[in-house]
Amino acid sequence: MVHWGKENVILVKPDASFAAEIRSYREEMLLAGSSMDGTGALRRTEEPLEWLKHNALMENPKLVPENKVPATQFVLTDTDTGRIYGMLQVRHELNEYLQKFAGHIGYSVRPTERRKGYAKKMLKMALQYCKETLGLQRVMVSCLVENEASRRTILSCGGVFEEKVYEHVEHVWLEKYWITL
């Protein structure tokens, strides 16, 4: 298992051992009506093992579907309990859509674990991964205009506001930030 972080809360690439927690995370997010940012295809994939297969496909540049970019999926988990607190996806590069709206990193925290600092911990570990593994010098991260918690998380990790943009497919306003690594 590849992991980033210290203590008992780490960012790891999920495998089949997380199937029950992946299912639980998905159900909790859907019941709460949460946006599921940073979960890749989890919203539309009921079966955790299918989601894991999709994640593996997305990591391989030769297998990534057209109009997508290589990406690595992580979960923030407690090494003692196996509970998934959050999910985060790192996109290795930006295509036109990601450059305009979504950025390199998407993340979410399950509703029952919010306001505990997990998003900030997760984003900091992802930034380290982007720098050390992908060799990126800066990354773009965005959040919904009304998501004050995510805005604070991005700013606390060095985010510099670039602009506010309207994403026409989801009909949402986003704020774009750049973080220098």
Predicted confidence (pLDDT) per residue in 17-51, tens digit:
999 999 999 999 999 999 899 999 999 999 999 99
Question: What is the C-alpha separation between 50 and 120, in angstroms, rounded?
Answer: 29
At the fourth CATH level, the homologous superfamily of domain 3-180 is Gcn5-related N-acetyltransferase (GNAT) (3.40.630.30)
Task: Give the model's pLDDT for residue 1.
Answer: 41
* Confidence category of residue 4, pLDDT binned at 50, 70, 90: low
DSSP string, 60-112: -TTTPPTT---EEEEEEEETTT--EEEEEEEESS--HHIIIIIBSEEEEE-GG
Show me where the domains of the chain are located: 3-180
Contacts of 96 (CB under 8 A, 6+ apart): none
User: Which tokens belong to 178?
Assistant: 């750049």
Residue 179 has pLDDT above 90, yes or no: yes
Predicted confidence (pLDDT) per residue in 127-162, tens digit:
999 999 999 999 999 999 999 999 999 999 999 999
Decide: pTM greater than 0.75: yes
